[in-house]
Amino acid sequence: MHKSLNLSGRLASFRFAFRGILTMVKTQRNAWIHAAATVAVCGIGVLLGLSAPEWCWLVLAMGAVWTAEALNTALEFLADAASPEFHPLVGKAKDVAAGGVLIAAMSAVLIGALVLGPHIQGLVGNR
List, for residues 84-117, the tens digit of each pLDDT value: 999 999 999 999 999 999 999 999 999 999 999 9
Please report the DSSP string for 9-53 in residue order: HHHHHHHHHHHHHHHHHHH-HHHHHHHHHHHHHHHHHHHHT--HH
CATH number for position 62: 1.10.287.3610
Query: What is the domain range of residue 104?
Result: 30-125
pTM above threshold 0.95: no
Span 20-39, pLDDT tens digits: 999 999 999 999 999 999 99
Section 37-64 average pLDDT: 98
The model's confidence at residue 10, banded by pLDDT at 50, 70 and 90, is confident
In a domain, residue 102? The reply is yes
Residue 49 lies in a domain: yes
Residue 92 within a domain: yes
Residue 121 to residue 64: CA distance in whole angstroms = 26
**Given 54, 69, 76, 85, the catalytic residue:** 69
Burial category of 10 from C-beta neighbours within 10 Å (exposed 0-12, middle 13-18, buried 19 and up): exposed
54 flagged as catalytic: no
Asked, for residue 112, whether it belongs to a domain, the answer is yes
In a domain, 14, yes or no: no
2 within some domain: no
Number of domains making up the chain? 1
Residue 68 forms part of a structural domain: yes
**Residue 94 maps to a domain:** yes
